[in-house]
Chain A
Amino acid sequence: MSTEEASTRKLILYVAGETPKSLAAISNLERICREHLPGKYRIEVIDLKKNPQLAREHKIVAIPTLVRELPIPIRKIIGDLSDEQKVLINLKVE
């Protein structure tokens, strides 16, 4: 694993269609990554309304939930990501 790959965050955001909190989570995550992790993130948005079975992989219960898959260990942030400081701490950007 290269250093660059190690520093890249692989982020998976689980949403439920276009519920208000899902839209807010997408919008907040894109803004935070753009401002604090420019070029150092990959976001995958998974719509559990379309594919509910994908919730099992990360044992998702509440939506929206953000999973930081890389770097390990996996971390979960539940909610619409409106608390920027909480998100940054969990992404270990500080």
Chain B
Amino acid sequence: MRNSQEQALQSLIDDLRQRAAEAEETLAAIRDGSVDAVVVGGEGKDEVLVIGDDASAFRNFMEAMEPGAVAVDSAGRLLYSNARFRQIFAEDWDRLKGKLLSEVLPGPASQLIGKLINPDSHEAAPVSVSFLEKGVERNYLVSARPVHLGTVRGFAVTFSDLTERVRAEAAERAERIANAIIASANEAVVVCDRTLTVTHANFAAEALSTEKLVGERLDAAIPLKFPDATGILDIGELVETSLAGTPLRSIEAFAPMSPGARDVMVSAAPLNISDDEPEGCVLTLVDLSQRKKDERQMHLLMRELDHRVKNTLALVLSISKRTAASEETLEGFQGSFSGRIEALAATHNLLAGASWESLSLRQIFSAEVSPYTETGGERVNIIGADLSLYPRAAIALGLIFHELATNATKYGALSGEKGSIVLEIHPKTDAPSVEVTWTEKDGPAVKSFSRKGFGHTVIARSLSYSPHGGTTMEFEPTGVVCRIRIPASDVA
């Protein structure tokens, strides 16, 4: 009996000891913060009390936040996530709760954000990360701030969606690049939308219109006329053809309303931004005005050249026939013919050097007389202001000077040791002719040509193409005097 009482007592003591140990352990757990709720019994009804703040207000606040937000403890364990966060990762809370944030986030983002929620780390600056959300990359700015949740220290981590801003910045940058490309093009570049409204135009394009282009209708701002052969009626049709998928290249057109009314070469290509139908059209317009002007000048010059070659050949043929008729020997023909052709060539050279514009009379004289003697020396002098002659007069005068110099060398002032020649250029007046006088002195006594050969004909007739041109020869005892009348219309 006594033993059974002792056993019951011992059992009671053991039970009390165990309860005391449990009570001590419970108090220690509460003190060191490893529990955060207690069961309180009263009037036969148990109740759970959460130690510290009830986190429901905090959770309600997080739930209403637009950015994704989570609360984690110091180990990075998810204590709460709001709806936006769950949406980002397409997870429900039952699957997320208690997981480490690093298990939820993709690798690179996990490392960056891991530094933010590491209690030993001092990283506090927000980090930019990107995740695939429903297969589309989205950008987030992630920041973390320390918080207390009940007895727990942890972090509130927010995920602010920057995707639209990043996209807008990328689009803005792309727009700036596109504008820079268009602006740096030397040729006119115009971009219009499907309604023909101009959206971009560079400086060269603006020069094709009197109005500011952007915002205007292309067909009104730069109306173009196309040659019938192109089959295109107007610039609107050009754009429509391009939008239908057919790029058009190097089509000549005329821009009548552009300043200076310009010829242009137009190319049009569809503006493809996505896989959908083209959003507009890119047109380049090359100004052909200078090229057209050059082409017209070239055709003019070719016709002029053709004309001059024919004239020259006719002149050479005439010189050949007349020289043959006036010379009695082959040697005589060769000498005279060569001399005349060389005279012609000398003037031609001078004219070619001056682009067939006009020639100095002094230059022509020097070119023709210098083969026989030094010009500008004691024996040959030029007096009077120089004249500028047009090609027709220049060629004629070159032949005349050649014949006069030849005669002077054979029979006149240059045939002996003492004779001299003076060329006097009279100034241009209102008279229809300008006179130039060739005067020989101190040569042998002269007499009229005993035989008026082709040389005389050249002298007499070369300037007779005009009633105000011609020559008169006087055979003075002191030497030949030739008065040359150049049509004033051929003197510049």
**How big is the A interface, by class?**
20 to 34
Interchain nearest-CB distance for A38 vs B (Å): 19
List chain B residues, Cβ under 8 A from A63. 35-39, 48
Whether A16 pairs with B36 at a CB distance below 8 angstroms is: yes
Task: Select the stretch in B23-31, B113-121, B135-143, B364-372 that faces chain A.
Answer: B23-31
Q: Which residues of B contact A82 (CB under 8 A)?
A: 34, 75
Whether the Cβ atoms of A16 and B37 lie closer than 8 Å is yes
Task: Determine if A72 is an interface residue (Cβ-Cβ < 8 Å).
Answer: no
Within 8 A of B (CB), among A11-49: 16-24, 26-27, 30, 48-49
A44→B111 CA distance, assembly (Å)? 34
Residue in B46, B47, B50 whose CB lies within 8 Å of A19: B50
Write the B97-127 contact mask toward A (1 if CB under 8 angstroms, else 0): 1110000000000000000000000000000
Number of A-B contacts (CB under 8 A): 101
Residue A60 is within 8 A (CB to CB) of chain B in the complex: yes
Judge if A78 is at the interface, Cβ distance under 8 Å. Answer: yes
- Interface size class of chain B, counting residues whose CB lies under 8 Å from the partner chain: 20 to 34
Does A79 interact with chain B (Cβ within 8 Å)? yes
Given A19-B50, A82-B34, are A55 and B39 neighbors across the interface (CB < 8 Å)?
yes
Enumerate chain B residues within 8 angstroms of A61, measured Cβ to Cβ.
22-23, 26, 38-39
Are A23 and B77 interface neighbours, CB within 8 A? yes
Does chain A have a CB within 8 A of B150? yes
Residues of A within 8 A of B154 (CB): 20
Please determine whether B152 and A53 come into contact, CB atoms closer than 8 angstroms.
no
Chain A residue contacts of B161, Cβ below 8 A: none
What string of 1s and 0s marks CB contacts (under 8 Å) between B35-65 and chain A? 1111100000111101000010000000000
CB of A30, distance to nearest CB on chain B (Å): 8
Which of B22, B26, B80 sits near A18, CB closer than 8 Å?
B80
Q: Are A52 and B37 in contact (CB under 8 A)?
A: no
> Which of chain B's residues have a CB closer than 8 A to the CB of A48?
37, 39, 46, 48
B73 in the interface (beta carbon within 8 A): yes
User: Given that A27-B98, A61-B26 are known contacts, is A79 also in contact with B34, CB under 8 Å in the complex?
Assistant: yes
For residue B19, which residue of chain A has the nearest CB? A59
Of A17, A24, A52, A55, which is within 8 A of B73 by CB?
Answer: A24
A61 and B48 CA atoms in complex are apart in Å by 9
Q: Specify which chain A residues have a CB less than 8 angstroms from the CB of B79 in the assembled complex.
A: 18, 20, 23
B78: nearest chain-A partner, CB-CB: A23
Q: How far is the CA of A61 from the CA of B41 in the complex (A)?
A: 9
Q: Which of B22, B25, B46, B77 contacts A24 (CB 8 A)?
A: B77
Q: CA A50 – CA B78 in complex, angstroms?
A: 22
Residue on B nearest A47 in the bound complex, by CB:
B48
Given contacts A78-B29, A79-B29, contact A21 B35 (CB under 8 A): yes
B37 contacts A22, C-beta separation under 8 Å:
yes
* Min CB gap A16→B, angstroms: 3
A15 closest partner in B (C-beta): B37
Alpha-carbon gap, A5 to B172, bound state (A) = 68
A6 CB within 8 Å of chain B: no
Give chain B residues whose Cβ lies under 8 Å from the Cβ of A16. Answer: 36-37, 48, 50
Q: How far is the CA of A29 from the CA of B148 in the complex (A)?
A: 23
Are B99 and A27 in contact, CB atoms less than 8 angstroms apart? yes
Q: Find chain A residues with CB under 8 A from B23 CB.
A: 61
Residues of B within 8 A of A30 (CB): 98
Q: Which residues of B contact A55 (CB under 8 A)?
A: 39, 46, 48
Chain A residues with Cβ under 8 A from B98's Cβ?
A: 23-24, 26-27, 30
Interface residues of B (CB under 8 A from A): 22-23, 25-26, 29-30, 34-39, 45-48, 50, 55, 73, 75, 77-80, 97-99, 149-152, 154
A-side interface residues toward B, CB under 8 Å? 16-24, 26-27, 30, 48-49, 52-53, 55-56, 59-65, 76, 78-80, 82
